[in-house]
Amino acid sequence: MSVLAQDPATTVAPRRGPAMPLTWLVTLGIVLAALNLRTAVTSVGPVLDQVTGALGMSGVVAGLLTTLPVLCFAVFGAATPALARRTGEHRLLLGALLLLGAGLLLRVMIDSSAVFLAASVLALSGGAIGNVLIPALIKRHFPHRTGTMTTLYATALAVGTMLAAAATVPIERAADGNWHVALGVWAALAAVAAIPWLALSRSEPERDSGREDAGPRALVRSRLAWAIAGYFGTQSLIAYVMFGWLPQLLQDKGYTSGEAGLSMAVFSALGIPVSLAVPAIAARVRDQRPMVAGLALLYVAGFTGMLVGPAATLWIWVLVVGVGMGSFPLALTMFALRTRTAEVTSALSAFAQSTGYLIAGAGPLVVGVLYSATGGWTLPFVLLFAVIVAQVLTGWYAAGDRYLEDEPA
């Protein structure tokens, strides 16, 4: 018996995908939805000082605001497969985008820190549901083109992440310093993304009745599921640490705030070409372990250069780590490559992301404690090297040529 038992009488053959008109509509819907999944997160950081000052947020409340993404991604991501079984995947993604847009709009309409936090939870819940649903939709609608579609998904996710981070401050300046406009404008993008799913909400795909029991709790005893969750969690931890602490590291090495900001922009922008390349390559090979090792070596080289290299070469090592961040689109690709059906893809996506984001959430906090206690970067980088070891160990198992449904209980 496998972890997720298979019933030959109910297991269906892989679908060839939707009819041609629906193919383009689903593709457009996935790309537009992916553009929105991080806007609620990355749009706040550039104007956080203005928001906390205007709303009178304490340091504790501001800290809670920055912790909300990982908490919401973990909690609402875990609940997504059950919600999808009840409402249908198309309708649920439509609802998620509407929640996202409503939360983005509500949090800038009332000047209250409590309302801002509650509305942020609303917006982040929509993003969390989309995180889990889209890999399952790719597996369901494009079972023979998962690499191509994951490339589109990961690239759109990277573009949306960078766009919200880079454009929020210029929008604020164009609006005469009004941060309400700068944050609220992203609700319009969510409304646009909902349009294809509004049309698709009447054409829910058939579900595999033999997989109705597939859910995150069914994977607790799965070695492969835990390996993928570990790989996703370790790469997310590194990403959160880099986005949270890289500017401080650059300035400690003698970079100005402007130079640090430019380096961060280039670091973020690297996610676009990397997301274009990694899923396409991963889908062409049966065993992705060489990719796991290669990306880990880039991390090792980059972090070593950051720690002991001269300040003049620091930007080179930032670029090296930026390419190593290809571990994120690789982890996304594994959801489809290690499963046979959309139902199990959804369950694996929910399990790996909810568990992984809980792991990742501790990273910036621990790095901050180590940095504050020592006043230097040696111990924080020791932690990162230990995380890389864990990433290789979990990724080596996760990237092998195997399927979750075939794993013995």
d(CA 229, CA 225): 6
How many residues does the structure list for the chain? 409
For residue range 360-378, list pLDDT tens digits in order. 988 888 888 898 888 889 9
By C-alpha distance, which of 18, 134, 19 is closest to 77?
Answer: 134
Give 197's contacts (C-beta < 8 A, 6+ positions apart).
29, 33, 90, 91, 93, 94, 97
By C-alpha distance, which of 304, 302, 232 is closest to 74?
Answer: 232
Above 90 in pLDDT, residue 208?
A: no
- Between helix 327-337 and helix 113-141 the angle, nearest 10°, is 50
CATH code matching the domain that covers 216-409, chosen among 1.20.1280.50, 1.10.3720.10, 2.70.240.10, 1.20.1250.20: 1.20.1250.20
Sign of CA dihedral 13, 16, 18, 23: positive
Helices (H), 285-326: 289-308, 314-324
Q: With bands split at pLDDT 50, 70 and 90, how would you rate the model's confidence at 12?
A: very low
> What number of other Cβ atoms are within 10 A of residue 250's Cβ?
24
Q: What is the pTM of this model?
A: 0.85
By C-alpha distance, which of 145, 105, 155, 100 is closest to 125?
Answer: 100
For residue range 63-108, list pLDDT tens digits in order. 788 788 888 999 999 999 989 989 999 999 999 999 999 999 999 9
The answer to whether the 19-204 and 216-409 domains have the same CATH topology is yes
**Superfamily name and number for 19-204:** MFS general substrate transporter like domains (1.20.1250.20)
Going from N- to C-terminal start, the domains of the chain cover 19-204, 216-409
d(CA 348, CA 331): 11
For residue range 339-355, list pLDDT tens digits in order. 998 889 989 999 999 99
By C-alpha distance, which of 315, 313, 324, 312 is closest to 391?
Answer: 324
